[in-house]
Structure 1
Amino acid sequence: MDDDGIETDAWAADQGPGAGAPIPASAAWREGDHPGRRQFFALGDLPLEADPSGSLPGATLAYETWGELNAAKDNAVYIAHALTGDSHVFGPSEPGHHTGGWWNAMVGPGRPIDPSRHFIVSANVIGGCQGSTGPASAHPEDGRPWGGRFPYVTMRDMARAEIALTDYLDIPRWRLMTGPSMGGMRTLEWAAMEPDRVGAIAPVGSTGATTADQIAWSTSQIAAIKADPKFRGGDYYDAADGDGPHTGIGIARMIAHTTYRSAGELNSRFDRNYQGESDPLGKGGLFAVQSYLEHHARKLARRFDANTYVRLAQAIQSHDVGRGRGGVETALARYTNPALVIAIDSDRLYPMQNSQRLDAALSGSNGIKVVHSPVGHDGFLVEAAQMIAFMDEFERSL
């Protein structure tokens, strides 16, 4: 799997509908496309942290729900997605949704987050490309895609949009908020911004503040996209299939995917093996690991949007729950309710010390739960049995 929870078996060849066709300039959901399970909330003009004098006009959130809100309104669970995830947390691949639910292992009948017991909500973030207002959306002034004009957004902007959705759904308090990676960052923002409206949090493989090392990794990904001549400064939505910035977003994905897996896992899985019979030593062939990364590059280009990748990577760079709040520890001290901090022992993107800092700062945490995995950051998806055990125990204790 990768960081959005999409199965990656049989990686050596592109798969799925349209796999042999030219890669589209953008795989963003656009108005008029099949809505799938999406519902839409018009939240209006969204103030932006980086531009206090301006706002994102006419913003909309695409969201999905499962289960029913009970009479007491105390069974609501919010699930925040990772960088290239979206609102489709649970369910099959179907019209309107490129892939199946990215957290089917955690959500569903008999799972820790069960629609028979919980009212489950997940929204595509502001800046996203699967129904919420983002770079592929129509600009209110001219109807053309925002493209390169789309503003810089932060984790706090995204959390404020989610707070507005919570008000709209008439949910006074979330029983649980959880999410992996970038989703964990928004969970922590909620804990600092609205501590009384969150009954419990469970950040997974995440951090309280993006480090210089993490910013460095994402900087190279952003640069790869912007360097693609077919990125066209972010204004490529009218380009024909095969003429979009799929090379740039593909390279970005290869860089990112390397951080999602551990060195040990890549070495043991691929070693120095060739892909097929072709010799890669100057004879045009590929090492197996090269073929694996190229597969992930093509796969993401077929279901995502380059501008969105840039804006969400920048939002991750902005993440510091302690910014303007006296530091991470002071900001999280406001939150005193239960917390489950989950780390992956081989994670080289958000390593153990990030979770240790969260555990120390959250008074409601009763110690880090560690997923033991050779895989790396993706261990939170690959090691489903461990994750289910941790989450089930925590959820039932609330």
Structure 2
Amino acid sequence: MNPRSEHDIPATGAWRPGDPVADRRFCRVAGADDADAAGSTARPFRLEGGGLLAEVDVAYEAWGELAPDGSNAVLVCHALTGDAHVAGRSGPGQPTPGWWDALVGPGRALDTDRLFVVCSNVLGGCQGTTGPSSIDPETGKPYGSNFPVVTIRDMVRVQALLADRLGIRRWRAVVGGSMGGMQALEWGAMYPERVGALVVASTTASASAQQIAWSHIGRMAVQSDPRFRGGDYYDADPGEGPHRGLAVARMCAQVTYRSDEVFTERFHRSMLGGLDFTLDPLFDVEGYLDYHGTKLARRFDANSYVRLNRAMDLHDLARGRGSTESALARITAPTLVASVRSDGLYPPIQQHVLADGLRSVGGDVTWVDIDSPHGHDGFLIETPQLAPPIRTFLETT
């Protein structure tokens, strides 16, 4: 990273109250202000690992109109550094365009002329849903290091509470890739009666040793930044937050998200300038990684990164359910499983094992093979290959 470009990077890229709302909607699903909601009490939210949150607010976006009987609702679940902004333009309060914009909208695979599509920022995130950058009602300060570890199941339970508030008893489908696919699978296992269909891409029934290893490197990069301050950095001036550690974590992840073929074709050994025998960035690929590292540091939060990253490590459908087979047997919804041939982070063998496991317990599985050089990011990039089978799947299930 160029030190001259770091002075204005905020201590956190989290959305904070007072920032432009953009297309966010908000709903309190647990806590004191929830007491007046029909049939609810002012109870805190207890996490799978034993932590307790006095209040939980959810930031979400929605497209289309909910049918009177609620039968046309689709939940889209986002990946590690995603948020609720699946579709739409960037603008004040929303620094990036919709991350799956080509899939969601009028006439698209998730057709908002017919479907009511919802996406919420996950618990522990940083774009409006309660997370480490949120104010702890007990202290009046950001949670920071005091925010507990969350799991994929915690995220799904919060989404279920949101669905209750929205009057959605059963999702027409739950859709997600990568960490979003983990959430979708847990929806199928935790609430089989509330899910009509599942669409999961580039995901797995449990995190592998190599995936956990990459996650560990990313977390260590963040936590080793002296400006991380154990997670209590929210009062730091611009340029004084843990942006370097978060940027390095993103650089490592960016390499795993793409394939060697794509890096070679795009960059080869091309240089930023002339040959220079120093330790400064020399090659185009170094500039590319610096750019993506800085970009994430400007829009994300370091504490959220390490907690959501850890939630992915902890993902295991079999936990507390006897075995993976018995966990998969809980999933009764027809399931579309999509795989990217060049994915080195979530390799196709994981999706094959998932699909075969579902079939072995009587599951109805549709397989989609995405032929793409783009690696793990292929499920986001190759919409022309993914959208038609999703449309057909939802029309026929």
Matched with 1:87 is 84
Corresponding residue of 1:3: none
User: Residues 280, 376 of structure 1: CA spacing in aligned structure 2 closer, same or farther, 3 A cutoff?
Assistant: farther
What SS does structure 2 have at the residue aligned with 1:22?
A: coil
* Sequence identity percentage: 49
| 2:39 equivalent to 1:42 | no
Give 1:190's aligned amino acid. W
Q: Structure 2: how far apart are the matches of 1:194 and 1:285? A: 50
Cα distance 1:360–1:283, how it changes in 2: closer, same or farther (>3 A)?
A: closer
Change (3 A) 1:186 1:280: farther
| Paired amino acid for 1:266 | F
Q: SS of the counterpart of 1:341? A: strand
Aligned partner of 1:6 in structure 2 is none
Given that residues 274 and 280 in structure 1 are in contact (C-alpha distance below 8 angstroms), is that contact kept between their aligned partners in structure 2?
A: no
Question: Counterpart in 1 of 2:188?
Answer: 191
Task: Tell me what 1:23 maps to.
Answer: 9
1:1-398 → structure 2 map (5 Å cutoff): 22-44=8-30, 45-51=44-50, 54-275=51-272, 277-282=273-278, 284-362=280-358, 363-398=362-397
* Aligned partners of 1:278 and 1:285 also within 8 Å: no
The Cα of 1:49 is off from its aligned counterpart by 0.8
Conserved 8 A contact 2:269-2:283 = yes
CA distance in 2, matches of 1:211, 1:91: 34
The one-letter code of the counterpart of 1:382 is I
User: Structure 1 residues 367 and 234, CA, compared in 2 at 3 Å: closer, same or farther?
Assistant: same
Unmatched 5+ residue regions in structure 2? 31-43
Moved over 6 A (4+): none
Q: Is the deviation greater in 286-295 or in 354-363?
A: 354-363
Give RMSD over aligned pairs.
Answer: 1.6
Pair 1:163–1:280, CA change in 2 (3 A): farther
- 1:92 Cα shift? 0.7
Determine if contact 2:99/2:380 at 8 Å carries over to the other structure: no
Distance in 2 (CA, whole Å) between partners of 1:223 and 1:20 is: 21
The amino acid across from 2:328 in the alignment is L
Q: How many residues align?
A: 379
Q: How far apart in 2 are the matches of 1:285 and 1:360?
A: 45
Amino acid at match of 1:329: E
List per-residue Cα deviations over 1:127-166 (Å, max 9, x = no partner).
Answer: 0000000010001111110011110111111111011111
TM-score normalised by L of structure 2: 0.92
1:282-340 CA distance string (max 9 Å, x none):
37441111111111001101110100001100111110011110222211112222110
The secondary structure found in structure 2 opposite 1:78 is: strand
CA 160–117 in structure 1, closer or farther in 2 if over 3 Å, else same: same
Give the secondary-structure state (helix, strand or coil) at the position aligned to 1:396: helix
Q: Is the contact made by 1:209 and 1:320 (CA closer than 8 Å) also made in structure 2? A: yes
Aligned partners of 2:203 and 2:350 also within 8 Å:
yes
AA matched with 2:370:
V
**Residues 1:23 and 1:82: Cα distance change in structure 2 (over 3 Å):** same
Residue type of the alignment partner of 2:12: S
- Shifted more, 213-222 versus 257-266: the winner is 257-266
